[in-house]
Amino acid sequence: MTDPTQDHRDAPEGAGATAYPQERPGPLSGTVVIDLTRALAGPHAGMMMADLGARVIKVETPGTGDDTRSWGPPFVPGSDGADVATYFLSCNRNKESVALDLKSDDGRAVLTELVRRADVLIENFRPGTLDRLGFAPDHLAELNPRLVVLSISGFGHDGPEGGRAGYDQIAQGEAGLMSLTGSGPDDPQRVGVPIGDLLSGMYGAYGVLAALLERERTGRGQVVRTSLLASIVGVHAFQGTRWTVAHEVPAAQGNHHPSIAPYGLFHCADGAVQVACGNESLWRRLCTEFDLDPEAEGMRTNGERVANRQRVIEVLEEAFADLPGEELLARLAAAGVPSGRVRTLQEVYEWDQTRSQGLLVDVDHPTLGPVQLPGPPLRFFAPDGTETTPTEHASPPLLDEHGPAVRAWLQEG
């Protein structure tokens, strides 16, 4: 990574620019990332790096900006009368924004200078688009041999369908995830968040960090590629090997695990709880607590219980039928059986445990004022136990909020 002590990393504020902490603490402090992405996969990767202290300069289309600035409702009215999309706020904290028309001479000239100073460039155009704009990988390497480029596509950059547009809903279906999700084989469902986009961002950031580490040995950057298809296939986990090794075709089966029983959602007097018996000891504890026979026919081993899953569900729901959820959870906890409730997002963000983990951050938005955002999922500690996690965060930027500052920085040479 670039030496954070170099003076040219510190951008002065341009006329009318909003003050922004150009050097932020974190493992990636001093690293400059040019974020050409829009929507979610690329912006999420950029935000992950920004959370780690990188200076992330988001390049947006003049006038409209990132697509997600218009995705809503919900929108929240700002003090300037403009609506702010909460979708955009979810994936762009800790970034700067500069508006560039990459089809214009000026836009390409500014991007060229940014590339010369950057450590990382991330893009999620359709394969070939960046080449047509004049920034093919070989030209980027000429401008900056140390540059690490992250390219995220829908279905891969090559292959018979490499040019397809990438949208999360489509990828969830094409990559098999929807066939595993839902109440049953005839009820395919998408995951409740754009998980293909999010996974692509996570895998992309992971690949960038590996390439930066290798650059320390070789002195040269490289291109990292991933896709929505690759990222979803990459998390098939045991469902994937059910097919590749055992030649079973997995199908959706609701809220119960295909290989472990009991492991899923069970109804009780006033709702439902989740129970996870991942080994025989836990199964026996559960049976002892609720006066059930762990050696009953068809229930002695996990394999038998999986084969007789519906009977296991019926037995447990009969035992839970008269118990309110809170009482049931208390008994399960006392017996040492892993269990939990199904919380709404409001309950999650109001939960003391969530807050204790730094999963909510306070930022001061230029037009919304103080707002809370979901926070980074990583924490860092020194060997003596002192927490070193960065706690100061910048709000997602207004469109071109940092354009004057970025241009002034480039002009300093």
Quote the tokens at residue 137: 């990988």
Nearest to 68 by CA among 102, 106, 95: 95
Tell whether the torsion through CA atoms of 130, 132, 135 and 139 is positive or negative: positive
**Distances in whole angstroms, Cα of residue 267 to Cα of each of 51, 183, 184, 316:** 40, 15, 18, 9
Residue pair 128/137 in contact by the 8 Å Cβ criterion:
no
CA distance 46 to 56: 7
- Rounded to the nearest 10 degrees, what angle do helices 195-218 and 41-51 cross at? 50
Rg, Å, the chain Cα set: 25
Residue pair 175/169 in contact by the 8 Å Cβ criterion:
no
Nearest to 211 by CA among 122, 116, 113: 122
Separate counts of helices (H) and strands (E) for the chain: 17, 13
Tracing tokens 């066939």 back to the chain, one arrives at 179
Tally Cβ neighbours within 10 Å of residue 384: 5
131 among known catalytic residues: no
CA distance 348 to 333: 20
> Which residues make beta-bridge pairs with 142?
none
Of 35, 66, 197, 400, which one is the catalytic site residue? 197
DSSP H or E stretch at residue 396:
none
Nearest to 277 by CA among 335, 235, 344: 335
126, with CB counted inside 10 A (0-12, 13-18, 19+), is: middle
CA distance 281 to 249: 30
Sequence-ordered strand ranges (E) for 78-119:
83-85, 95-99
User: Which residues participate in catalysis according to the annotation?
Assistant: 197
